[in-house]
């Protein structure tokens, strides 16, 4: 393939954001349930939900169908900032590290690229992440304690005005730590799983191959990243009472969580987390691959995989 047949860098970011937003529209209810379950039983109090299905029942009874999409605007903004950045950086670096004969980079290089892409995306996306956590958690609070953000823009403005600029980056450390773990696992193992599945199962390039590779990647990602995700969720949702915060930092969250709720609480809400991250990984990569193919078809009159393919 000639050197000119590449997806422009700005389109890599645009396609990444669009793929993330499309995936989020489908799996947002699971993200909400995951966040609610991770906040349940804080401080050793009685758990609000027995399991994922009980949480879904409670949300449905109390808030109706719209309750499952509470905070969707923040979720979409998160995809524009976080996913757009991380996939844009990843696909750009993936292309740059290809060998001269067009072979993809090795597994360790993919992992390193994924880690850097995740770190970049997490820093850019933390304000949207803080808004998302708070908006999805609001419905579980007593009416008098709810923040009642009108939307993601209202959330960002109020957080800035009421709590200061740096509150928008509250939990940035575990967010970036989680992103490093997620992207090292997700982006690195997706590309590797795709190659292995294609080789061992003789699957051709297509949605079936993308689906299997993404579900394998999603499971590994969930196991590795969930403790950091819980630390991030609790830090970003916490309130400061009388000038004293509930947690000193991400390590304190994990220590208190293990001490008060048990070791396996580090993976509290694993099922909705995996059912969210697995299909979201599937949808994001499927949409991204299709956007890439559509570009080559529109630009060059074919559906070649080109340098923008993962």
Alpha helices in 9-106 (DSSP H): 9-39, 52-67, 72-78, 84-96
Counting residues of the chain whose pLDDT is more than 90, the rounded percentage is 16
| Concatenated DSSP letters of 214-234 | HHHHHHHHHHHHHHHHHHHHH
Average pLDDT, the chain: 82
Count of structural domains within the chain: 1
Q: Is-contact 217 281, C-beta < 8 A?
A: yes
Domain containing residue 165: 9-300
pLDDT bucket at 42, cuts 50 / 70 / 90: low
Structure tokens at 212: 């299997």
> What Rg do the C-alpha atoms of the chain give, in angstroms?
20
Rounded Cα distance between 13 and 82, Å, is 10
Q: In angstroms, rounded to a whole number, what is the distance separating the alpha carbons of residues 148 and 37?
A: 20
By percentage, how much of the chain surpasses pLDDT 70? 92
In a domain, 307, yes or no: no
pLDDT over 80 (residue 100): no
For the cut 90, the answer to whether the pLDDT of residue 34 exceeds it is no
Q: Is residue 215 part of a domain?
A: yes
pLDDT at 307 over 80: no
pLDDT in tens, 139-194: 888 888 888 998 999 999 999 999 999 999 988 888 888 888 777 777 668 778 88
Residue 2 lies in a domain: no
Say if 97 falls within a structural domain: yes
**Angle at CA 181, nearest 5°, toward 219 and 32?**
60
With a CB cutoff of 8 Å and minimum separation 6, the contacts of 20 are 78, 79, 80, 82, 83, 84, 87, 284
Cα torsion through 175, 178, 183, 186, rounded to 10: -130
CATH number at 181 reads 1.50.40.10
Please say if the pLDDT value at position 27 is more than 70.
yes
Asked whether residue 92 is domain-assigned, the answer is: yes
| Residue 4, in any domain of the structure | no
**Residue 310 within any structural domain of the chain:** no
Confidence of residue 308 (pLDDT cuts 50, 70, 90): very low
pLDDT single digits (tens) 224-240 = 888 888 888 888 887 76
Residue 261 inside a domain? The answer is: yes
pLDDT tens digits for 48-69?
788 889 989 999 999 999 999 9
């Amino acid at each position: 393939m000639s050197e000119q047949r590449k997806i422009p860098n700005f389109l890599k970011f645009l396609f990444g954001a669009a793929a993330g937003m499309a995936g989020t529209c489908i799996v947002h209810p699971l993200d909400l349930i995951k966040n609610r379950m991770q906040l349940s039983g804080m401080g050793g109090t009685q758990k609000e939900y027995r399991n994922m299905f009980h949480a879904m029942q409670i949300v449905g009874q109390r808030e109706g169908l719209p309750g499952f999409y509470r905070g969707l605007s923040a979720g979409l903004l998160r995809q524009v900032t976080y996913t757009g950045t991380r996939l844009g950086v990843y696909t750009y670096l993936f292309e740059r590290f290809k060998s001269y004969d067009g072979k993809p980079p090795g597994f360790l290089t993919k992992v390193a690229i994924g880690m850097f892409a995740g770190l970049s995306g997490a820093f850019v996306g933390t304000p949207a992440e803080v808004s998302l956590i708070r908006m999805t958690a609001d419905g579980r609070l007593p009416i008098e304690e709810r923040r009642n953000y009108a939307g993601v823009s209202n959330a960002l403005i109020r957080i800035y005005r009421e709590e200061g600029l740096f509150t928008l980056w509250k939990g940035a450390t575990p967010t970036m730590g989680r992103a490093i773990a997620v992207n090292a696992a997700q982006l690195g193992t997706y590309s590797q799983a795709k190659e292995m599945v294609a080789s061992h199962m003789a699957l051709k390039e297509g949605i079936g191959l993308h689906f299997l590779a993404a579900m394998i990647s999603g499971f590994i990602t969930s196991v590795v990243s969930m403790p950091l995700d819980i630390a991030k969720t609790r830090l970003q949702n916490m309130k400061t009472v009388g000038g004293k915060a509930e947690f000193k930092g991400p390590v304190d969250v994990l220590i208190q969580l293990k001490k008060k709720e048990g070791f396996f609480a580090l993976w509290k809400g694993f099922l909705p987390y995996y059912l969210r991250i697995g299909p979201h990984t599937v949808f994001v990569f499927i949409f991204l691959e299709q956007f890439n193919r559509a570009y080559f078809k529109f630009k060059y009159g074919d559906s070649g995989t080109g340098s923008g393919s993962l």
